[in-house]
Structure 1
Amino acid sequence: MILPTSFIDRDSTAPPRAEPGQQWWRTAIIYQTYPRSFADSGGDGIGDLPGITARLDHLVELGVDAVWLSPFYPSPQADAGYDVSDYRDVDPIFGSLDDADKLLAAARERGLRVIVDLVPNHTSSEHPWFKAALAAGPGSPERSRYIFRPEKPNNWQSTFGGPAWTQVPDGEWYLHLFDAGQPDLNWDHPEVRAEFRDILRFWLDRGVDGFRVDVAHGLIKQADLADWHYPVEPLTGPATESIRPPMWDQDAVHDVYRDWRRVLEEYPGERILVAEAWVAPSERLAAYVRPDEMHQAFNFEYLEAAWTAAAQHEVITRSLAANAAVGAPTTWVLSNHDVLRHASRLGLPIGSPRPRGIGADDPQPDPVLGLRRARAATLLMLALPGSAYLYQGEELGLPEHTTMPDEARQDPMFRRTQGEQKGRDGCRVPIPWEADAPGYGFGPSGATWLPQPPVFAALALDRQRGVQGSTYEMYRSALRLRAQHQLGAGTLTWADGLDGVLTFQNGSVFVLTNFADTPAALPPGARILISSEPLDSDGKVPTDVTVWAEV
């Protein structure tokens, strides 16, 4: 038996990428950039499109297949760009349309595909349509593009806290499931549907490879706008086949995506739709990826699953079965711009609810335990069949910024809950490139739109590149091995294991994750491919460690 470190393979060759026509999205590793926090080219402390273009080689070296860009459209930034005022342009803080075209061309030259965010549930209150609606008054055609009512019709709450209805000066009320600056569109209106078909074509014509669809489960509301007396998010409410939240996951939403799928199929090159749909159970989520609808849907049940062998086994089994029933790949994810980074989330007590942000006065995650589990969780995820998403900085093992001063916070969730929920700023902090540079190399001025914690210095890319055992090199090695062994296109077969030990085979690779309190033995003759941490001196797998091996 070979005793491993977390970095065994030193081949710097990027993994091979699927050729056109091979349904690349079924096995792809897609890297999310949050543009304002990835790289700043201009020195204003806000990341931008030229900054992303300048750092694309990092993604090539890491070994991903595609990059997803969070919104870069013109916006008053009430919700960090998820309040769009113009879907066919670039906000000056991020650059220009010419910069977007250059980014697309540069990515194409490097064999990277590009997915852009689309925000169809709501516009900004500064969008020309909403301005026209306010000016036109009650009963006007302009107001019919949104959801206005003469009286407040129900008790719905915003996911950011507070009521989901705001009254305008003439007395009518409009719906916003998020911030008041994000009025919900009326997707029963033919002009709304036509407008978004045109927006899809605008970006497809420019060469994007697909769209991540924000709040994909929210476009259609129950016709009677009935009251709802449970938590707003369906994953935390009593969502079942017989109880559906009236604002989420209505069956008619699938007509929208069938329509969009037809638009994408007018274009060559396997363009894709990706659903951000907080939907449970897995069977309801799988409906979004039926053959004539979307291509992928984020698996948030997996992200939310407890760090135990039983919980992981259950969610993986259910997810694979539900997606197989509709012929779709399962799309795995552990972190994104809306949730606690998993290097911190997994440092909280097992089974505790995921908080919406952590502040300095809150119970703090165990950073050592969190990173140890995060590395193990990452290797577990990357060994699973299907596609996977990485969030910028997780390849560095970045934690949540859990001690950010309240006066620095910008998330509307923090404001609308009067600080009860700290919000998502902690996972959106600009990432570190150079340990000894101002702003850790984020931009030429050293300024950053959110403060960075001191721990980022030790985790900067230049401190990890080429360092055996670093989180960055673990990710690089895992992605290369994943491609080499075709794990994304493989089949999972569970193996017999002890209590607290998860074991399965995917093609030629045997995978073991030890959740138990005692070390676990590998099969005789196992040849280690990669391990999230070194094995014990007797070759056993310690607690909170994942190993890939050939047996």
Structure 2
Amino acid sequence: MTSEPTTGAAEATTDATAWWADAVIYQVYPRSFADGNGDGMGDLVGVTERLNYLADLGVDAVWLSPFYTSPQADAGYDVADYRDVDPRFGTLADFDEMLREAHDLGLKIIVDLVPNHTSDEHAWFQEALDAAEGSAARDRYIFRDGRGEGGAEPPNNWQSIFGGPAWTRLTNDDGTPGQWYLHLFDTKQPDLNWENPEVRAEMEDVLRFWLDRGVDGFRVDVAHGMVKAEGLPDWSAKVAMVAGNENEEVTGGAAEEGAAEGNMAPSGENTPPYFDQEGVHEIYRAWHRVLAEYDGDRMMVAEAWVEPMSRIFRYVRSDEMHQAFNFGFLLAGWDAARIHANVSETLTEAAAVNAPATWVLSNHDTVRHSTRYGLADPTSFPKGIAAEDEQPDEELGLARGRAAALIMLGLPGSAYVYQGDELGLPEHTTLDASVRQDPSFFRTEGAERGRDGCRVPLPWEADAASYGFSGDSPDAEPWLPQPESFEQYAADQQVNVAGSTYELYRQALSLRSQLSVGSGALEWTELNQPDAGILAYRNGKVQLVANLSGEAYSLPEGAGVLLVSDESALTNDGGGTETLAPNAAVWLTA
């Protein structure tokens, strides 16, 4: 079998020297990372106290999920004040100290921006509630009169991503029914009206507020949202976004053909009238100009669940964003052919717009990949897992998760690591309904288990209360309960312990940096047989072989081993031939 040609490379980026072009970025979910004040919820002081851990791991940047003032109806993605820190997480002074210490350690800081909607407790929405119909205050949001007799029916048939109608009707001060407001997510997350110049100016000012403080970039939530089709037309299908996945449920037949294998919102005539509209690109071109005013290669990364892949890369054209999450890679699951197809397509489309590729396996919206890989169908994408659902094979999932880390970290471009990935942390799959907090769980009456299972506080010390999450506070109750199995995954059981998942990640990140893997170029080698379960590529000085088949695989003779996902996965027949066990991966010298 002959080698396939190079399909793309990070070196083709607009600015190959920019730090983000090949960065490994670690996602911190603040309420579950580390608790610095002993109240059972993570905070910015806790993040600061653990920055050395991240620097030692070898990541380049830290992305923080929202820590802004919020009633926490959707874990902070309902922002009441974009320019302040919620007291649960600390103060602006705590943020500034964290940022300073991160920069001293050589770590960049990326903050989450939530521009599609605010909290219903935001000052603007409270003003809108008190204002008259048609007022300037209401024009910042999407208020409409209802349809039917007395306006009793919603303005259109849109459904909330979290379940139920996307419209809620107000009651006037005199007790009569009032207008309806749009909320594509929870009722406490009213959508902003991005046709209003005041909204655009306000969000640009928010960007400058955090850029002036010194942040290095922004992760943009629901980046394919914000702009709605003119007239807010009815749409005959529903997009149910749970665990970060927009999976169309066809109710009128309009979207079936466009729905992708990756379960993302399709483009073209089947595009939801509230996602992936052309107007979003004008917004990001304006934001790009704002970031360009600042030194230090400030960046933006789009959370854009759209397809096909060419649509995703429209968000990272040279005058828009700098990166977009590659959810197709995440959704490929443990399947060599699907991974191969995604990598090839990603690098081709990235090269077409001179942007870096990105790679991600898990985040705060998805069932952890080590758990998904342990299910009977390792390509499945459940909307959370409960005790009554299929339980994963934890050992198998961990082995595959470690191998997937080598597949991902050997690729050119930028990679994202969700907190706990480096520990091989599994999903909490037996959370009781009484402790769940995800609004999608409640709005679907439990039909969708929600995202709490991947948001459980991290274990730091095996023998400490709450596994060290709350430091020296033995009586602190973590905001979500941790399973007993977390004891074996605790950081103190893995740091500097040969063969641990943490050390595997640390070694991979070190080699990735030393060998300039992120700025390399990929070539599928003659060993690559994705239909047979074998992935094999060359990237600079690294040659990856991953065995996703059910049989042992003979490695090429003479290649030195740089790193293997599990030492026991390599065996020698005594004659010089080494074999790689199933569910394992190895980096060889190229």
Q: Secondary structure at 1:236's aligned position in 2? A: strand
| Whole-angstrom distance in 1 between the partners of 2:114 and 2:267 | 26
What is aligned with 2:426?
Answer: 399
Post-superposition CA distance 1:48-73 (Å, at most 9, x none): 00110011000011000010111010
**2:423 is aligned with what amino acid?**
L
| Whole-angstrom distance in 1 between the partners of 2:295 and 2:489 | 40
Shift of 1:142: 0.7
Q: Secondary structure at 1:168's aligned position in 2? A: strand
Q: Provide TM-score, normalisation by structure 1.
A: 0.95
Shift of 1:465: 1.3
What is aligned with 1:236?
Answer: 247
Contact 2:398/2:424 (CA < 8 Å) preserved in 1?
A: yes
What is aligned with 1:516?
Answer: 549
The runs of 5 or more residues in structure 1 that have no matched partner are 1-19
Pick the aligned partner of 1:225 from 196, 208, 232: 232
**1:549 is aligned with what amino acid?**
L
Q: Secondary structure at 1:89's aligned position in 2? A: strand
| Whole-angstrom distance in 2 between the partners of 1:106 and 1:465 | 21
| Whole-angstrom distance in 1 between the partners of 2:217 and 2:58 | 19
| Whole-angstrom distance in 2 between the partners of 1:330 and 1:43 | 39
Contact 1:21/1:269 (CA < 8 Å) preserved in 2?
A: no
Residue 382 (structure 1) aligned with residue 409 (structure 2): yes
Contact 2:546/2:584 (CA < 8 Å) preserved in 1?
A: yes
What is aligned with 1:490?
Answer: 520
Pick the aligned partner of 2:582 from 536, 540, 543: 543
Shift of 1:156: 1.2
Residue 355 (structure 1) aligned with residue 382 (structure 2): yes
Residue 93 (structure 1) aligned with residue 95 (structure 2): no
Post-superposition CA distance 1:112-137 (Å, at most 9, x none): 11000110000000000000111003
Shift of 1:533: 1.5
| Whole-angstrom distance in 2 between the partners of 1:351 and 1:153 | 41
Pick the aligned partner of 1:268 from 281, 289, 295: 295
Shift of 1:21: 9.1
| Whole-angstrom distance in 2 between the partners of 1:505 and 1:352 | 25
Shift of 1:436: 0.1
| Whole-angstrom distance in 1 between the partners of 2:22 and 2:505 | 16
Post-superposition CA distance 1:362-401 (Å, at most 9, x none): 1111111111111111110000000001011110010000
Taking a change above 3 Å as real, the CA distance of residues 306 and 51 of structure 1, as seen in their structure-2 partners, is: closer
Taking a change above 3 Å as real, the CA distance of residues 507 and 450 of structure 1, as seen in their structure-2 partners, is: same
Higher strand share: 2
Shift of 1:227: 2.1
Equivalent residues in 2 for 1:57-96 (5 A)?
57-96=52-91
The runs of 5 or more residues in structure 2 that have no matched partner are 1-14, 147-153, 173-177, 249-257, 259-265
Pick the aligned partner of 1:475 from 505, 509, 512: 505
| Whole-angstrom distance in 1 between the partners of 2:162 and 2:191 | 14
What is aligned with 1:532?
Answer: 565
| Whole-angstrom distance in 2 between the partners of 1:487 and 1:145 | 46
Contact 2:142/2:181 (CA < 8 Å) preserved in 1?
A: yes
What is aligned with 1:23?
Answer: 18
Taking a change above 3 Å as real, the CA distance of residues 240 and 197 of structure 1, as seen in their structure-2 partners, is: closer
Equivalent residues in 2 for 1:326-475 (5 A)?
326-350=353-377, 353-443=380-470, 444-445=472-473, 446-475=476-505
**1:61 is aligned with what amino acid?**
D
Shift of 1:235: 5.2
Contact 1:493/1:505 (CA < 8 Å) preserved in 2?
A: yes
| Whole-angstrom distance in 2 between the partners of 1:344 and 1:461 | 19
Stretch deviating more after TM superposition (439-448 or 31-40): 439-448
| Whole-angstrom distance in 2 between the partners of 1:343 and 1:306 | 10
Residue 169 (structure 1) aligned with residue 161 (structure 2): no
Shift of 1:517: 1.4
Shift of 1:352: 5.3
Pick the aligned partner of 2:540 from 507, 511, 534: 507
Post-superposition CA distance 1:448-498 (Å, at most 9, x none): 000000011011011111211110100000000111111100000011234
| Whole-angstrom distance in 1 between the partners of 2:122 and 2:533 | 52
| Whole-angstrom distance in 2 between the partners of 1:169 and 1:302 | 45
Shift of 1:236: 3.1
Post-superposition CA distance 1:8-33 (Å, at most 9, x none): xxxxxxxxxxxx99201000001010
Post-superposition CA distance 1:479-520 (Å, at most 9, x none): 001111111000000112342211110011110111111111
Post-superposition CA distance 1:218-259 (Å, at most 9, x none): 010111222222341585342143421111111110000000
Contact 2:373/2:396 (CA < 8 Å) preserved in 1?
A: yes
| Whole-angstrom distance in 1 between the partners of 2:299 and 2:547 | 36
| Whole-angstrom distance in 1 between the partners of 2:379 and 2:525 | 29
**2:542 is aligned with what amino acid?**
V
Pick the aligned partner of 1:214 from 214, 221, 224: 221
Pick the aligned partner of 1:160 from 156, 159, 162: 162
Among the aligned pairs, what percent are the same residue?
Answer: 58
**1:236 is aligned with what amino acid?**
N
Residue 180 (structure 1) aligned with residue 182 (structure 2): no
Shift of 1:216: 0.5
| Whole-angstrom distance in 2 between the partners of 1:413 and 1:157 | 13
| Whole-angstrom distance in 1 between the partners of 2:238 and 2:497 | 45
What is aligned with 1:201?
Answer: 208
Aligned length: 532
Q: CA RMSD in A?
A: 1.3
**1:375 is aligned with what amino acid?**
R
Contact 2:16/2:519 (CA < 8 Å) preserved in 1?
A: no
| Whole-angstrom distance in 2 between the partners of 1:224 and 1:317 | 39
